Amino acid sequence: MQWIYIDGSFYPKAEAKISVFDHGYLYGDGVFEGIRAYNGRVFKCREHIDRLYNSAKAIALEIPMSKEELTEAMLETIRRNELRDCYIRLVVSRGAGDLGLSPTKCPRPTIVIIADSISLYPDEMYENGMSIITSSVRRNSPASIDPQIKSLNYLNNILAKIEANNAGVPEALLLNEHGLVCECTGDNIFIVKNGIVMTPPIYVGALDGITRQSVIDICSRLGIPFQEREITLFNVYGADECFLTGTAAELIAVTKVDGRVIGSGKCGPVTARLLEEFRRLTRSEGREIY
């Protein structure tokens, strides 16, 4: 039986419910984190919890638990489900209110924690790479919604995902209003050119991804040249390698963008090396669950 944490109690999956007046449901008013556990350890636990609280603070949402209390609730959710390798979805919504937009009518946030298995992409894609398209949907402007806020409102990403689905590919690339590459619908993007690993800066409209930062740290430790710089589609099409990063996706090669073959058309050596090192880290680092 799968157990779901809601506001201090555990419920079987079929009985796990929130109010239809919850502003997370009505307006997408809330924040969340997607977190991974490997081999009995929660990877980058502190970084994910810190980002959740920073996102909540940015939207003036006060989480009614300390970071350690919330972390322990997450760990207990994993224990209740007897998992060692899993994906954790931690959601904090504004809570139940009325049908008005104002958050002042929501006296207490709703906290939901789900722990389950996940397999975002098939194994062969990690070996052979994936094809993606560029969406016609532009990324939300950072002047409107700061991309560092990991909020429950993903409609911008979903519209681009619909285009990817219609094109028969698993991901779509989002550009900002100036035509600069931001990220994909659920992943950050990197390219490799002449041995240099590059990724767009946060200010263009990209999420400050935990896996993104892990890859940057790996580059530094391994002595792989790295640049955070503005990137256009011209740079992507002409890259030697391209890959995506995300908590669920981990690190996966892109071998075709908008019908253009990237590099050799296979997972490149830099991408393969970074993936190997990232997976080594996930097997050896993290907050102990049991």
Residue spans of the domains in the chain: they are 3-116, 123-284
CATH architecture of 123-284: Alpha-Beta Barrel (3.20)
Check 150, 161, 193, 266 and give the catalytic one.
Answer: 150
**Span 176-182, mean pLDDT?**
97
**pLDDT the model gives residue 226:** 98
The pLDDT of residue 126 is above 90? no
* Percentage above 90 pLDDT, the chain: 93
**pLDDT the model gives residue 118:** 82
Between the two ends of the chain, the Cα-to-Cα distance in Å is: 19
CB distance 74 to 35 below 8 Å: yes
φ, ψ of residue 216 to 5 degrees: the values are -60, -45
**pLDDT the model gives residue 135:** 98
Residue 67 designated active-site = no
Whole-number average pLDDT of the chain = 96
Q: Tokens in use for 118?
A: 């996940």
Structure confidence by residue, pLDDT tens digits, 127-159: 899 999 999 999 999 999 998 999 999 999 999
Name the H helices within the chain: 23-27, 45-58, 67-80, 123-128, 155-167, 210-222, 233-237, 269-284
The pLDDT of residue 220 is above 80? yes
φ, ψ of residue 156 to 5 degrees: the values are -55, -45
Q: Do domains 3-116 and 123-284 have the same CATH topology?
A: no
**3-116 carries CATH number 3.30.470.10:** yes
**pLDDT the model gives residue 123:** 83
Token pair 């600069």 in the structure block, residue: 180
